[in-house]
Structure 1
Amino acid sequence: MTETAVRSIDGLKDIPYPSAESGSEYVSGWRVYATLLTLFLVSTISQVDRILPFIMAEAIKLDLSLSDTQVGLLTGIPFAVCYTLLSMPLGRAADRGSPRFVLVICILGWSAMTALGGVAASFLLLALTRFGVASGEAGAFPAGHAIIARKIRPERRGLAIGLFAMGMPIGAMVGFAAGGAIADQLGWRVALIGAGAIGGLVAVLVLLVIGRTPTLRQTSTTGESFLRSSARLVATPAFRWLFIGAIAVGFASAPFYAFAGPFLIRIHGFTAGEAGLAFGLLQGLMGIIGTVVGGRMFDRAVQSGTGRVLGPPAYLFLIASVTTTAALFAPIGWLSVVLLVPGMLSFAFLLPWAFGAAHLVAGKGREAQATSIVMVGSGLMGPALGPLLVGLISDAASAAQIPNGLAFGMLAVPVASVATALAMLTANRRIAALFASR
């Protein structure tokens, strides 16, 4: 296959998905590995800085005399809103200018805010630094995906997106393990300052390793406003169903991660350490397998030329919906953990497929914008409302004297997983129709 075309968002012309032979700006040789390793480090440190307050919440609470509500505000809805909404203008900036420059500024910004959080003496100051962290991290994935689109040859792009995304589970493991250990030995302030310093070094690495990213020639829609351009993209059937799927996966993943640990502790008598070890290690392993294997499979799906680029993750979500339901009512703790594994795998496996498909539909030069819109779908409503919905159902079931009330609340996870699968299958058909019409 030398060239595959997909419909652009204006619906008037096809945008080529270039082959390996086109585009002299693509890196080769050792620069491919250096670029991907650098982006992996960006994703990893981003996740570390984001989740550090989770593992250090009790120490921060005691030191600053915070309430549980204030701790929740540091890591909850405000962070999600700031992170997802700012990803859109930052994605636009990455598409229209230099994504390397946007990424370096974002890393320096969130790293500085992370370090400043280590010297905060009040809730207000710490909250402001967390908003700063969210603002900087909002540009990491859109700018990183724009760099991948301009530097990595199309036949390797899905794998590149998967390797970039692999930093999320690795960062979570590093953040929980190293963050907790450093906080115990040296204090939470040292952990935040140290993480900020490491982020600064990663920014320098990005500047040195990732070469100049030429500004792409803009299409006729350049003069179109950002909001109008985004609305036109979401209005296309293929991207609209992809966006709906992103919303659904947010409602599946957020409650899954928020309540899986408490479920194992409350229902099966795990200690916090046992639940964290079992869930954390398995999630990390599934994250690595899912992002790498998913990325490679996506590349092969694109190269097939059929346009069917969302079927495998959709089917995995259907399987996960069944196993997760069984896990919630399994009588044995270890069996419940095993049955949760397909759910862990499905969330990681979807990442390269969803982002890669979004890039295909949006077209060349709009990759960062497409990424930011998908992030809004998955990162805003689900994380903000999903855990709340599960909590309300669990409380209502417990008040009605229904045993295992949390399991009934967590049934929202398999329901949302089925919704994700159906939306992705519909998007799969729509994208295939675009390929067929080229």
Structure 2
Amino acid sequence: MSEPKPASGDDLGALIPILGLCGFASTFTMRLIDPLVPTLAVEFGQSVHQIAFLVTAFSGCYALGQPFLGPIADAVGKLRSISTCLVLLGTLSALAAFATDFWMLLALRAVGGVMAGGVIPAAMAAIGDRAPMAERQIMLGRFLVIMIIGQMAGAAFSGVVADHIGWRAVLGTAALLAIGGAALVRLVLKPRPNADRPPLSLSGAIGSYRAVFANPRSKLLYLLVMLEGAMVFGLPPFVAAILHERSGTGSSEAGLAIGAMGLGGLVYGVLTRILVQRVGPRQMMRYGGIAMALGYGLFVIPAPWWSAIGIFLLIGFGFFLLHGTFQAQATELAPTARGSAMALFACFFFMGHATGPLAMGTLLNALGTSGALAVFGVGIGLLGLLTPKLLPPLGSRS
């Protein structure tokens, strides 16, 4: 497999912060509903489980759009695709701020999920095009640092603003962030000269996906990342309800707890080079699974609401230890069709992301909070421990 031509330091210096800000806008929009579930349930006269379906709709449409968005990004250029999706995402978020009923909000969030799906996978593919494999996981880690702040801010900001101004202001802010990110891409970043782009056609898309699945590692990687998405992101839509039941807290406290997953991601991003060089991808996957399992186990114990901040920081750090290694592997599945490979990676991850809340809701009803958390904790722990044996990272030490 051919290595990309390394980008100059100046190119990467601009690329990482700006694409990171685009990822910030996407993840901010994605995570802002989680702390608002009880608030929106009262606003629209729906149950908590029905409102949690807003998260499933966004994530499911994020996943379903990927098979189309990947070939489009490969054909028209990843930067152009990212900026267009951000403009549309901002427009949909602005319209959602004026939603008058649950079904209108659901439809706008669903279509917004498709547009959000055109940002992060294409951004990671663009980094893969420019950074050699030896530096790629480190560059992706830096990208994640900025992107994760968006995840953290989306949850924490939305809870606080909803309590003091209203949930509509949260969606308005998301719209401004997305359109601002699109403007920066258009004004600052330049497409690669003489890039080899396949034609935008059905046969071209089929050819790209054929190249992806020609790699025997693809199927297993996509299955594992789907399981990861379900077990990590099945819980956040129910955190506000769990904390309210235990401590009588509101959206602000839930947002701070969920946002702490982003703090864990920031720790990972800052330490990525040290972790890759000294710990190695295989051990990072194992430690990631153990950290998440421990976090789920600790959340079983009734405790003051603020203890959830440390618990979700631990879960977030563990998640990125595992997921960061998955991402680096995905960028190398098909160097001639990276946009398509990363789109499929996101597709399967967000299929898990979409089904996770449904599975968690079912387990909460059947087993209660402690039983549901125990099942998810054991599952994610086993995933982290078994993955290095099932899918060892290329060129890593054991």
Q: TM-score, normalised by structure 1?
A: 0.77
> Larger Cα Rg: Structure 1 or Structure 2?
1
1:326 and 1:339 in contact (8 A); partners too: no
Q: Which residue of 2 aligns with 1:72?
A: 52
Unaligned runs of 5+ in 1: 1-14, 302-307, 398-404
Indicate yes or no: 2:254 matched with 1:276: yes
Q: Which residue of 2 aligns with 1:285?
A: 263
Q: Which residue of 2 aligns with 1:429?
A: 392
% identity of equivalent residues: 21
Distance 2:136 2:365 in 1: 45
Q: Which amino acid aligns with 2:2?
A: P
Change (3 A) 1:372 1:202: same
Distance 2:49 2:359 in 1: 18
Distance 2:117 2:78 in 1: 13
Distance 1:122 1:281 in 2: 27
Distance 1:49 1:340 in 2: 19
Indicate yes or no: 2:365 matched with 1:386: no
Unaligned runs of 5+ in 2: none
Distance 1:325 1:125 in 2: 34
Q: Which residue of 1 aligns with 2:331?
A: 359
Q: Which residue of 2 aligns with 1:407?
A: 370
The one of 319, 328, 345 aligned to 2:290: 319
Q: Which residue of 1 aligns with 2:224?
A: 245
Distance 1:356 1:53 in 2: 29
Q: Which amino acid aligns with 2:319?
A: F
Q: Which residue of 2 aligns with 1:99?
A: 78
Indicate yes or no: 2:127 matched with 1:148: yes
Map 1:297-308; keep pairs closer than 5 Å.
297-298=275-276, 300=277
1:327 and 1:340 in contact (8 A); partners too: no
Distance 2:163 2:240 in 1: 21
Indicate yes or no: 2:8 matched with 1:16: no
Q: Which amino acid aligns with 2:9?
A: S
1:52 and 1:176 in contact (8 A); partners too: yes
Q: TM-score, normalised by structure 2?
A: 0.84
* 1:123-178 C-alpha deviation (Å, 9 max, x unpaired): 44333321231121111012212221234454432222122223443113322343
Indicate yes or no: 2:143 matched with 1:164: yes
1:270 Cα deviation (Å)? 7.1
The one of 312, 318, 338 aligned to 1:346: 318
1:198 Cα deviation (Å)? 3.1
* 1:59-88 C-alpha deviation (Å, 9 max, x unpaired): 555555556565334x23322221012122
1:317 and 1:420 in contact (8 A); partners too: no
Change (3 A) 1:43 1:322: closer
2:35 and 2:240 in contact (8 A); partners too: no
Indicate yes or no: 2:67 matched with 1:88: yes
2:57 and 2:106 in contact (8 A); partners too: no
Q: Which amino acid aligns with 1:417?
A: I
- Give the total of aligned pairs: 395
Q: Which amino acid aligns with 1:365?
A: T
Q: Which residue of 2 aligns with 1:135?
A: 114
Instruction: Say which SS state the counterpart of residue 119 (structure 1) adopts.
Output: coil
